[in-house]
Chains A and B, each alone.
Chain A
C-alpha cells in the first residue's frame, strides 16, 4: 500500500507567495525526504529530515516533521515560476533504510 499521501494534489499560487505541501505516512520511519520532479525529468533530492528532528531549513525550503502525527510539511517561501514542479515526500521505514516509499505528489504551479 502507498506509504505517503500528499495534499493538496495540486496547488496554484502567484509568484512571491509561499507554498505549503503536506505529507502523511503510515509506519515508523528513519528519515523523511522531499524530492522535486520537473515535467518530463527525473526526481531531484531537495532535503532530508531525520526522525529525531522537528524542523530543517535549506535556502527557501523549510521542512517540519511531526512523528506523533506521522506527518511532514514542505514550505517554499517567496516562490518563483521556476519552482513549478511536482513535489514528493519519501520515507524509509525502520529496518529498511534502502527502500524509499514515495507519496502521491503535489503538483505546484507558480504563476508569473
Chain B
C-alpha cells in the first residue's frame, strides 16, 4: 500500500529514557514533517525536512533530534524523556510544487506515554 507509516504505534517508557520513532513514506514525496498533538488535540509542527535537509525547526527542546537518512525516511529521536513529552506524534509528507498548494499526507500516529 502507498502510505506514510510510523513505528511503533504505541510507546510507553520511563522518564529519562531515550527513544526513537520511525517514519517512512513511499509516496515519492520530497518533504517530510513531524507534528506533536497534545491531549487537547492541538497539532503543532516540530520539524520539516526537504530532500534530507532541515527547513523548519520550530521551538523544540534540543532533546528532540530528527534524522533523515534519505528522503523517504524521517526518524525522531528523543533523549531524556520528560512527562510533558507524552503526546501523539504524527509524521507527514508532501510534494510541494511551484505555484501549487502543499497537501500533506499523515501517518497513523505514535502515542507516546512517559511514566
Which A residues have a C-beta under 8 Å from some C-beta of B?
2, 30-31, 33, 35, 37, 40-45, 48, 50, 86, 88, 92, 97-102, 104-105, 107
Known interface pairs A2-B42, A86-B41; A98-B102 also in contact (CB < 8 Å): yes
Question: Nearest Cβ in chain A — how far from B97, in angstroms?
Answer: 10
Once the chains bind, are A41 and B109 in contact (CB under 8 Å)? Answer: yes
Once the chains bind, are B42 and A100 in contact (CB under 8 Å)? Answer: no
Once the chains bind, are B103 and A33 in contact (CB under 8 Å)? Answer: yes
Question: Nearest Cβ in chain A — how far from B17, in angstroms?
Answer: 24
CA A88 to CA B96, docked complex, whole Å: 20
Once the chains bind, are A99 and B45 in contact (CB under 8 Å)? Answer: yes
Once the chains bind, are B96 and A45 in contact (CB under 8 Å)? Answer: no
Q: How many A-B residue pairs have CB under 8 A?
A: 62
Interface secondary structure of B, over-half rule: strand
Once the chains bind, are B45 and A45 in contact (CB under 8 Å)? Answer: no
Instruction: Give every chain B residue within 8 A of A42 (Cβ-Cβ).
Output: 4, 90, 92, 106-109
Q: How does the 8 Å CB contact mask read for B91-115 relative to A, with 1 for contact and 0 for none?
A: 0101010000111111111000000
Instruction: Give every chain A residue within 8 A of B109 (Cβ-Cβ).
Output: 40-42
Which of B56, B90, B101 is within 8 Å of A99, CB to CB? B56
Instruction: Give every chain B residue within 8 A of A101 (Cβ-Cβ).
Output: 45
Once the chains bind, are A48 and B94 in contact (CB under 8 Å)? Answer: no
CA A33 to CA B94, docked complex, whole Å: 14
CA A30 to CA B101, docked complex, whole Å: 8
Instruction: Give every chain B residue within 8 A of A92 (Cβ-Cβ).
Output: 101-102
Instruction: Give every chain B residue within 8 A of A40 (Cβ-Cβ).
Output: 109
